[in-house]
Structure 1
Amino acid sequence: MSGRRGLGGRWVRRRPLRTRLALAASAAVALVAVGVCAAAFVIIRIQMTRQLDLNLAQTATQLTQQTRGWGPTASDTSCRYQAVPCVQIVPSDPAEDPRNRYALPVTAATRQVAAGHRSGYYTNLTVAEQPVRMFTKHLPNRRQALQVALRSDTVERGVRHAAWALSAVGGAGVLLAAALGYWVSRTGLAPVARLTATAERIAATRDARHRIELPAGPPAREDEVTRLATSFNIMLGELEQSVTSQRRLVADASHELRTPLTALRTNAELLARADRLTDAQRDRAAAALGRQLREVTTLVNDLIELARDEEPQPLVEQVRPAALLEHAVGAARGHWPEITFTARIDPVAATITVPGVPPRLARLLSNLLDNAAKFSPPGGPVDTELTLTSGQLELTVRDHGPGIAAADLPHVFDRFYRAQAARALPGSGLGLAMARQIARAHGAELTAEQAPGGGALFRLRVPVAKP
């Protein structure tokens, strides 16, 4: 038996979710319908039997007054008629029985009721091949029992009719339950079916641009499945953006690497024929080769840094941004001697520490300072300021160069993006993209804007934990 139940359970679990939901909904509604019909049948049967018992009791009460002077009497109707009761009076002593044969059965319990030793009772029996309901009660002040019987075939017929009617209703309820279960499974799982179809289509085509069609309506009326579909669409959007960004990064990286690799190959081939070159030509080729190797190395390192989304936790420590800023400004002064760097640090901000990776944060600051110096005129200033504002450390880096065009402002932090004015300057276009990625990995926000009075202004906001 347990093996058959196990097989049945496995069969259900192997069915599709839509089939299982339809079976569950149909079974639930069918169980309710059958239960209601069964309860109605029991109530109808009890009520009809109770009504018959009430008629018997009323008839017995009326006959008690009418038969006050009667002695033992045998019934002579044998319950041949439905509406006519069978009545007989039975003494407690069998010696007092009448000569006529009793039509209703007389038992020891009947004698006990007649003697007053037992209370009245109801009995179902058959008299003259007819179903009968009989009531036996004690006659007050007399050692006799009154037996009143009525045919119960009308009650049984009514009960049978009710059973057939309720069976028909129950059968219709089961069919309706099956239809409702099928409808519920189709309607309730329609978004899931669309989600599955979309996922299978994406797996087959590797195209993340597909989306699940959502029902029209206000967001407040969305159900759980619709919210799941919405979340899946958002995930698909993020996936599409990630895939697009990855493809763009590979395409841009190959484009950026093609030129220096070509130059490297040219200079390497040139140095391979060094015996045909003069000393000055060899020196120029060697210097160009070394410079191009450094550029390629820097570009590859930047790409490796950009491929990392978050900071390794073992390297995170408490860092004082003020000290990092002072060190970065000092290094920038040595690298850009023709630029004037200034650093204003709020005394309160100078004592604040935040969790981070010091080399990565130092790289962020050096990228911002190098970018500002690159666009500043010779002898021009680059202003940096570190303050504590609204529970955040705010670092600003401002140059006094041409600024950022409105068309370029949304793309400043894109990988390999270089504005029209910056294409003649050295660099690969990865410095600001790397700076923003480092900021996001540390939970900070880096933005760019036009500085009042000209130039570009970069603003870094770092959240500070409350003590």
Structure 2
Amino acid sequence: MSSRRRLGARWRRHRPLRTRLAVAASAAVALVAVGVCTAAFFVIRYELYHQLDLNLTQSATLVIQQHRGEAPGVLAGECRFQSAPACAQVVPADPAKDPGKGYLLPVSPPVRQVAVGARNGYFTNITLPSGEPARMFTQRIGLQDKSLQVALRSDAVRKGVGQAAGLLSGVGAAGVLLAAALGYWVSRTGLAPVARLTATAEHIAATRDPSHRIELPPGPPDKEDEVTRLAASFNTMLGELEQSVTAQRRLVADASHELRTPLTALRTNAELLARADRLTPAQRDRASAALGRQIREVSVLVNDLIDLARDEEPTPLLEEVRLAPLLAHTVDTARTHWPATPFELDLSDASATLPGVPARLARLISNLLDNAAKFSPAGAPVEVVLLAGELTVRDHGPGIAPADLPHVFDRFYRAEQARALPGSGLGLAMARQIARAHGADLTAHQAPGGGALFRLTLPSEGGPG
């Protein structure tokens, strides 16, 4: 038994899905065809013999009517198919009363049992002395302790049963062949999307190009079958993979571009400090300060790139963060970094809370404040308001051009008026990533009267998304 299982498992491993499906479909249809033909054979056989048994019953009734009180012995010796009288004889219960001439039909102990009423009448197949097959019916005659045997030739019935068997065997064989053809056709057409899916997957694996798609059959989505939905899901997965690969390539390219300038400046200042004996003390101090500042900028840029490359926010040590104290502390820090910019803080919703990581939320708010202060003219206020489940940060700078508005949260995106200002173009991208990780929504708008307005909408039920 275990060897059969091993052979079956080995066959499934080494046979393609199309072959296994064709064999399964063919076997199912062939089994149905053979079953129907077998059932039809037994129905035909039963009906033919049933008709012959009815004729025997009618013949027995006719013989009893015509030979009532007849002595034991042969009554009719000519057995013809479906004719009356048939071969008939009367057999007593007592063998001592048998006629001296003997009997034409075989007499067995059950025949004597029928004569005394110990057994009911029955049908049986016999062979006549002439060699022809016959069907015999044995029945008791009233209360006379005698049994009547009548027989009809059954060679025509046997011939009909044989013909039916041959015909149904041919039909069953044709059904098996048709089942094999249909199984092959079903496997070929039904698995065509799977074959295309496999070919596309193999092509992508060979070329590493996820831009290819599987061609789907036309039709409404609600009428798609399981294989078509699988192909559609695979296309969706390929689209996500293509976007991910594109984003990674763009991130690497943009990071390389952004790192090139500070690394060049670092190398220049390092080479300059290597020849410190040729510099005045003031020049050495300026070069050393510039080197330290550039190292800090590169460190911040690298850390931002690492955080963004994860494309998700970690959620360790989640706690219920009260936004008002966190916002006040972050604004105080921003006032220290931007002494020329006044920050106006309005904590109307002082009870607002958000489950999350305080350090990450502080980074989000700090990025928004730094962005607002960077674009605000000297002395122009930055308005920070926490009200009704929303945090808004507004500046009074040049605002966001309509062409730039859809891209302000893209990595490394710098508007035309921002390219002369310090920064890497990662602050707003990181702010949105942190907001999404906490279930909030960060959007950018043109402020009424000029300037930019950033709105952080807190989740209605709280908790990271």
TM-score by length of 2: 0.94
Aligned to 1:404: 400
Equivalent residue number for residue 357 of structure 2: 357
Q: Alignment length, in residue pairs?
A: 461
Equivalent residue letter for 2:441: E
Q: Which residue of 1 aligns with 2:411?
A: 415
Whether contact under 8 Å (1:78, 1:104) holds in the other structure is no
Show the counterpart of 1:462. Answer: 458
Q: Which residue of 1 aligns with 2:119?
A: 118
Q: In structure 2, do the counterparts of structure 1 residues 107 and 272 end up closer, same or farther at CA, with 3 Å as the change threshold?
A: closer
Equivalent residue for 2:287, pick from 269, 285, 288: 285
Secondary structure of the corresponding residue to residue 307 of structure 1: helix
**Per-residue deviation, 1:81:** 5.8
Indicate how the Cα distance of structure 1 residues 139 and 372 shifts in structure 2: closer, same or farther if over 3 A, else same.
Answer: same
For 1:125, what is the secondary structure of its paired residue?
strand
Displacement of 1:76: 5.0
* Aligned residue number for residue 385 of structure 1: 385
User: Match of 2:180, SS?
Assistant: helix
Distance 2:274 2:430 in 1: 37
1:100 and 2:101 correspond: yes
Q: Where does 1:155-194 land on structure 2 (aligned, <5 Å)?
A: 155-194=157-196
Residue 253 (structure 1) shift: 0.9
Residues 12-31 of structure 1 correspond to what in structure 2 (within 5 A)?
A: 12-31=12-31
User: Could you report, residue by residue, the CA deviation over 1:326-350 in whole angstroms, capped at 9, with x for unpaired residues?
Assistant: 1111111222222221222234xx2
Once the two structures are overlaid, the 10-residue window that deviates more, 137-146 or 227-236, is: 137-146
Query: One-letter code of the match for 1:231?
Result: S
Instruction: Say whether the 8 Å CA contact 2:55–2:82 is kept in structure 1.
Output: no
Identical counterparts, % of pairs: 72
Equivalent positions of 1:26-41 (< 5 A) are 26-41=26-41
- Structure 1 residue 459: Cα displacement: 1.2
**What residue in structure 2 maps to residue 316 of structure 1?**
318
Q: Which amino acid aligns with 2:24?
A: A
Which residue of the partner structure matches residue 74 of structure 1? 74
String of CA shifts for 1:225-276, please: whole Å, max 9, x gaps: 2222111111111111111111111111111111111112112222222222
Q: Does the residue aligned with 2:51 lie in a helix, a strand or coil? A: helix
Q: Does 1:239 align with 2:241?
A: yes
Shifted more, 291-300 versus 418-427: the winner is 291-300
Matched, 1:441 2:437: yes
- Alignment CA distance shift 1:12-1:302 (3 Å): closer
Partner of 2:310: helix, strand, or coil? coil
Residues 294 and 132 of structure 1, relative CA distance in 2, 3 Å threshold: same
TM-score (norm 1): 0.93
CA contact (8 A) 2:93 2:115 kept: yes
Q: Shift of residue 114 of structure 1?
A: 2.6
1:34 positional shift: 1.3
SS in 2 for 1:384: strand
Cα offsets for 1:172-217 (capped at 9, x unmatched): 1111221222122222222222111111111111111111111111
Which runs of 5 or more structure 1 residues have no equivalent in the other structure? none
Cα deviation, 1:8-41, whole Å, max 9, x if unaligned, reads: 4422343111111111111111111111211221
Q: 1:377 to 1:466 in 2, by over 3 A?
A: closer
Aligned amino acid, residue 245 of structure 2: V
2:306 partner amino acid? I
Asked if 2 retains the 8 angstrom alpha-carbon contact of 1:89 and 1:147, the reply is yes
Contact 1:376 1:382 in 2 (8 A): yes
* Residue number among 213, 216, 230 corresponding to 1:214 in the alignment: 216
Q: Which moved more, 1:251-260 or 1:12-21?
A: 12-21
Offset of 1:78 from its aligned partner? Answer: 4.8
Letter in 1 for 2:317: L
| SS of structure 1 residue aligned to 2:74 | coil
| CA RMSD after TM alignment | 2.0
Amino acid at match of 2:205: A
Displacement after TM superposition at 1:152 (Å): 0.9
Q: Which residue pairs with 1:374 in the alignment?
A: 374
C-alpha displacement at 1:168, in angstroms?
1.1
Flag structure 2 segments of 5+ consecutive residues without an equivalent: none
Corresponding letter in the other structure for 1:185: S
Tell me, yes or no, if the aligned pair for 1:75 and 1:102 is still in contact at 8 Å. no
Change (3 A) 1:208 1:81: closer
Identify if the C-alpha distance between structure 1 residues 463 and 90 changes in structure 2 by more than 3 Å, giving closer, same or farther.
same
1:301 aligns with one of 299, 303, 306: 303
Distance 1:111 1:296, change over 3 A: closer
Q: Aligned partners of 1:198 and 1:81: how far apart in 2?
A: 72
> For residues 196 and 359 of structure 1, do their structure 2 counterparts lie closer, same or farther at Cα, with a shift above 3 Å needed?
same
Q: Sort the Cα spacing of 1:65 and 1:466 in 2 relative to 1 into closer, same or farther, 3 A.
A: farther
The aligned residue for residue 429 of structure 1 is: 425
Following superposition, the deviation at residue 439 of structure 1 comes to 1.2
2: CA distance, partners of 1:76 / 1:450:
119
Q: Distance in 1 between matches of 2:256 and 2:5?
A: 62
Which residue in the other structure is 2:339 paired with?
337
Q: Is the 8 A contact 1:22 1:181 kept in 2?
A: yes
Amino acid at match of 2:436: R
Change (3 A) 1:172 1:231: same
SS in structure 2 of the partner of residue 315 of structure 1: coil
Point out the more displaced range, 81-90 or 332-341: 81-90
Bigger drift between 88-97 and 43-52 goes to: 88-97
CA distance 1:101–1:397, shift in 2 (3 Å) = same
Give secondary structure in 2 for the equivalent of 1:178. Answer: helix
Note the C-alpha offset of 1:94.
Answer: 3.4
Deviates more, 1:156-165 or 1:265-274: 265-274
